[in-house]
Amino acid sequence: MTLTVPVIDISPFTDGTAPEAVVAEIDRACRDLGFLVITGHGVPQPILDRGVEAMSRFFAAPVDTKLQHYRDGYHGGYSEFANMSLGQSLGAEAPADLREGFAAKRHDILDPSSPVWGDEESTRGLRLALTDYYFAMNAVADTLMEIFAVALGRERDYFEQFTFRHDSNLGVFHYPPMQEQPLPGQLRGGAHTDFGGVTVLYAAPSVEGLEVWDGEEWQPVPVIAGTFVINLGDLMQRWTNDVWNSTLHRVTNPADGAWDSDRLSFAFFHQPNKDAVIASLDESSAPKYETITSGQHFVAKIEAMKVTA
């Protein structure tokens, strides 16, 4: 049987009309590919639109302007085109991804003088748009963690103790129009699994390209305006002792005739508190992994992804 990416309306959980049904559907999806598309998430469209508008303007600026949002040695802010390789996180050499990005963690969002904002006066609009966006995603992640807790046989608020002072990363990625033939195997985003707990991805309206490996072939993730793609990261797979899955995915290049298209995506990588102790939540199986903190797990993963060539 081919596993698919289901589309799940989560509003019956939040409004209390049919929480068990939502929990059961999400548990199923997490056991299968660990990928799902959610509707009924309650995030107002204008918050998403403002984020898209602010980040489109940001990426359209000259590189010199964007580099004002970068400081050597500081994690976050602007990262130039093709300086990272998602594929490399799997351990082998892989070509750089055909994208540029911008990243902010919660401590950046809360600090107007963080290096990620560059010249605060001219970029205040960007900061405010991303602040609203960030906390909207935080709320979606909190709801998902409640659903996850119930699905894993815990109280609804179980994960709060692990996430209350999280410093999750919001990554915004711009995949520019293709200028030249890519290197062999070079993609907009190489095949990888996400590292953390759960990712909330918004890729509408410039959507096409995200694919998930179902064990046999690459499947396109359903593209539906106003929805989020949710996927589990490696930390959640480990935390559930492999009962749930973190699955390989990638962003493909546009077809030959569509090279002038660009693509924008927002990925909120929800990560538990740095000091959260991750030990198997599955009581029906012997633990397969050592206990680790969320912070240790993250650092090990991120180091592997840097392009060294």
Give the footprint of ligand AKG on this chain (CB under 6 A): 171, 173, 189, 194, 201, 203, 210, 249, 251, 265, 267
**Which H or E run contains 187?**
none
Q: Which span sits near Fe ion by CB under 5 A: 9-17, 107-115, 192-200, 251-259?
A: 192-200
Evaluate whether 113 touches 123 at the Cβ level (below 8 Å): no
Is there binding between residue 194 and Fe ion (CB under 5 A)? yes
Partner interacting with residue 32 (select from Fe ion, ligand AKG, none; CB below 5-8 Å by kind): none
Going from the C-alpha of 167 to that of each of 107, 115, 189, 253, 269, the distances in angstroms are 7, 16, 24, 31, 10
Shortest distance, position 34 Cβ to ligand AKG, whole Å:
13
Of 92, 82, 35, 264, the C-alpha closest to 187 is 82
> Whole-angstrom Cα distance, residue 226 to residue 217?
27
Smallest gap from residue 300 Cβ to ligand AKG (A): 17
**234 is a site residue for Fe ion (CB under 5 A):** no
3-state SS, residue 224: coil
We find the least distance from the C-beta atom of residue 157 to ligand AKG, in angstroms, to be 28
CA distance 154 to 230: 21
- Scanning 32-40, 163-171, 186-194, 205-213 for contacts with Fe ion by CB under 5 A, the matching segment is 186-194
Q: Which does 173 bind (CB under 5 to 8 A by kind): Fe ion, ligand AKG, none?
A: ligand AKG
- In angstroms, give the least distance from the CB of 106 to ligand AKG: 18
> Based on CB atoms, which residue is closest to ligand AKG, 7 or 14?
7
Q: How many alpha carbons lie under 13 Å from residue 149 in its C-beta half-sphere? A: 17
By beta-carbon proximity to ligand AKG, the closer residue of 143 and 265 is 265
φ, ψ dihedrals at 104, nearest 5°: -140, 135
List contacts with Fe ion (CB under 5 A). 194
